[in-house]
Amino acid sequence: MSAAPLRIGLAGLGTVGIGVVKIVQDHADLIARRTGRAVVITAVSARDRTKTRDADLSGYAWETDPVALAQREDVDVFVEVMGGHEGPAKLATEAAIAAGKDVVSANKALLAHHGQALALAAESAGRVIRFEAAVAGGIPVIKALTEGLAGNQIKRVMGVMNGSCNYILTRMQNDGMTYQQVFDAAQALGYLEADPNLDVGGIDAGHKLALLASIAFGTKVSFDAVELEGIGKISIDDIHLAADMGYRIKLLGVAQMTGRGLEQRMTPCLVPADSPLGQLQGGTNMVVLEGDSVGQIVLRGPGAGTGPTASAVMADVLDIARGARMPTFGQPAATLADPIAAVSTTPASYYLRMTLLDKPGALAKIATCLGEAGVSIDQMRQYGHEGTLAPVLIVTHKATRADIDHAMSRFDATGVMAAAPVAIRIEEV
């Protein structure tokens, strides 16, 4: 090997950062053989230098300020695994680009909010930003879109991209536990972010979807246009009734370009129980990519964790070590189009759950509201009476969400509703 070592400055020594350290230390010879040069860590940064960590850091220079780390002369690649879309992570990434460093990031929030500006700065400076670890952990979905499917017109990107939400929903399914019971268990096990709403509110997964949509459709990242709905309103009744109809409930991200504009949704959906998405269990992630030439491909694997995320970080580092250079979002940032958000979503069937008062003509009144809104009924089931209440499940033919909402806005005036109705989209997979 005649090439000089590639020198890493590592900002963040949490679980992912320590995972990166271990890969560099444990697989040094393997990495050198695969890239033709050594890859070494020269300096690190974290908030607390005194904290005990499961790795030997004694051979590395230490910077308390990640900006200072990004500017060091003995750093070629700035690896940012701190997290947060403002503050030190943003300042240090900007400093690294200004100092002529390449950047590898696991920070989905930073790129979802500031990806366009950072990409323009990096490409103007002749630098690259790689972020495989920011989306779906160990699943190489960025590489699949930018390289393996580069000759395809992408039709749709879809997937389960938050393992914590999938864990909660599958435990509700398998163990018959309520949402709150599983939420509390997940929090006790450390499966949720310090702010749990980042997970269960769909924000974390929405960041990932926005990044994939930018690559897939050649548009500027537009996280603010992602329709977000978390899983907090999903009840054990919804889980059981969906199963009775042959479906599973997933927090599903869908991005597709339509004649109405770019759709980006991260919302609970019903998917067929026998589909790959329907069979997905626990904390595993799955991303489905649809191209005009390749058809549909399914990528499945661990979406988080020390090893999988560090593996994705190092895949980007090794590409840089080999000399691979690519625009941040698969094409020059200056050529990315301004996204036009779809004003309405693609029509779909909907699951409607409602509890009616046991009155003559109650169902007929609900059916009339749906019909007047242009929504037709495909299936309807009425379950056993609960005193004076009658649980009812309706599956509609394809309709827009606006028509569904219009129909439900008229339900209260019927005088037969005992509780607010629930509407969940049924996604074709």
Cite the active site residues. Answer: 208
Report the SS3 class of residue 417. Answer: strand
What is the Cα–Cα distance from 338 to 214, expressed in whole angstroms? Answer: 10
Tokens of 168: 């909660």
Contact 284, 138 (CB under 8 A): no
Q: Is 287 left (phi over 0), alpha (psi -120 to 50) or beta?
A: beta
Q: Which residue has the tokens 């039709």?
A: 155
Are 394 and 407 a contacting pair, CB within 8 Å?
no
Helix 28-35 × helix 306-322 angle, to 10°: 40
For residue 337, give the DSSP letter: B
The SS3 assignment for 349 reads: strand
Contacts of 110 by beta carbon, 8 Å cutoff, 6+ apart: 80, 84, 85, 89, 90, 93, 118
Taking CA atoms, 369 is separated from 131, 184, 240, 393, in Å, by: 48, 38, 26, 15
Radius of gyration of the chain (CA): 24
